[in-house]
A and B are shown apart, each in its own frame.
Chain A
Amino acid sequence: MRSGRGGLLACCLALALSGCGGTAGTASGSAAAGSEGVPTSAVPSSVVPAPPGALLSPAVVDPATVPAPVSVAVPAIGVQSDLTELGIAADGSAEVPEDFDLAGWFSGGGRPGSRGPTVLLGHVDSTAGPAVFYDLRDLAPGDVVEVTVADGSIARYAVTGSEQFPKDQFPTAAVFGATTEDVLRLVTCTGEFDRGARSYIDNLVVTAERLP
């Protein structure tokens, strides 16, 4: 276990509450470390660019043919939650969980074991305090995310990076665009809190790749 992690976690929480933003450094460090050598989500690691005719087709699995995800666990930050199904709101934006302690899963996307992405959404906090994905920003490359699916089996992913985006420049294609890979993304809010709108200005997206 990471004995030093508890101390680091407390420090980050304190900094976050005081707005000192130490976690911003953590996130960028994770992104820099995690993005090196990571294959792009658009090109599966099994496909190497080659002259036409020499390519091997990746196995593109239809999400409807595999069980739906039902719960998520992230041991490194103590997250354990059932997953509620999320769709698309009337204005085209992402539905989010009504329960701040419950993570959700975009049911119109991928699933563990199928083409990706599988996208999980969770609140960072509520007016009552930290919510289910409060500590998402503390994830480091290599941290394991376990997604249990409806038949009881567990799909394991390893974090490869964390990235932060202004909501008004949200990279829809990068986060929700279809990919042949079984990739997992966890999304929550971060950044400056706009007190007038009671909303964070940024989103935090953690990417994790399927472990065999």
Chain B
Amino acid sequence: MTSTRIARTAVVAGAVGVVVLTGAGTASAESQVAEPATFTSAFTVMATPEMVVDADSAPAPGQPGAWGTFMYRINSDLDVLCYDISITGVTPPYQSPAKTATHIHEAAAGKAGPPRISLPDPVDNGRGRMVSSGCLQGPFTTGLAPTGTDTGDGFTLAQIEADPSAFSTDVHTTAFPAGAIRGQLSQVPTGGVETGAGGTADDSSSGAPLAALGGSLALAGAAAVAVRRRAVRS
């Protein structure tokens, strides 16, 4: 199945998964891009089995013991989405009528809704988690077109920024086709924090580079961000 092939060909460590175009003959699909310098918004998700509902919006609990953390960073000016996904306890194989089984749906909490973005499915990182990360630029297609039009058609990332809680993310498997885990998007701040204005705490040492990012702040997922303090120029 297409989604299984994607899972096998995606590179594990911090790489972008392979996105396969469907042969539906509709508009072009998303493309892999480099991470932009800045983002206009960021969203995190704690996905659990308790939040899954079926197509009729009835509770359909997913895989017991599974959970996942998602970070979505958006640059809506460029229509770029950078995703960092880490899931635990979800048993493959994936299954979905869309081109992958990992989605962002336009669906409020407790409600069903169509997928708008289809992301590369997480793959085993060899340490007990399944991860997926990378950056995609729209327009986005899901490969799902129940009425003849792809459910990603006309969708832009600015729509997520306009109403984040109206969007959910989930992962679908053969055992739990309605979803193994699911959670709503929750906005978090993006960029650095402006907490200081006086200059009295200036720390201008040309310093020894800081210890590499320690375990206490390890990123969920394989996409470790380089966080070494840049050299100070005098």
Contacts and interface: CB of A to CB of B under 8 A. Distances in A.
A146 B180 CA distance: 37
A21 B205 CA distance: 5
Interface in A1-56: 16-17, 19-25, 27-28, 31-32, 34-43, 47-50, 52-53, 55-56
A41 B129 CA distance: 13
* Chain B interface main SS type: loop
Shortest 5 CB-CB distances between A and B: which pairs?
A35-B214, A49-B128, A21-B205, A167-B192, A189-B196
B203 to A, nearest CB: 5
A160 B218 CA distance: 13
Contacts, number: 296
Interface of B: 37, 39-42, 44-46, 48-49, 64-67, 69-71, 73, 84, 86, 88-91, 127-129, 161, 183, 186-205, 207-208, 210-211, 213-221, 225-227, 229-230, 232
Contact of B196 (A39, A52, A200): A200
18 contacts: A20-B205, A24-B205, A35-B215, A37-B215, A40-B218, A42-B221, A100-B197, A127-B199, A130-B198, A133-B195, A161-B216, A161-B217, A171-B213, A175-B217, A177-B69, A180-B67, A199-B194, A203-B192
B199 A31 contact: no
A93 B210 contact: no
A92 B190 contact: yes
Contacts of B197: 100, 123, 125-127, 198-199
A177 to B, nearest CB: 5
Given A28-B208, A92-B39, A200-B201, A42 B196 contact: no
A85 interface: no
Contacts of A130: 198, 200-201
Contacts of B91: 52-53
A60 B48 contact: yes
Contacts of B203: 16, 19, 21, 23-24, 137, 190-192, 202
Contacts of A108: 186-188
Given A24-B203, A177-B44, A164 B229 contact: yes
A211 interface: no
B56 to A, nearest CB: 24
A40 to B, nearest CB: 4
A24 B203 CA distance: 7
A193 B229 CA distance: 14
Contacts of A164: 210, 229
A65 interface: no
A172 B202 contact: no
A207 B213 CA distance: 12
Given A164-B210, A178-B183, 7 more contacts: A57-B89, A93-B190, A124-B196, A130-B198, A171-B219, A176-B42, A180-B69
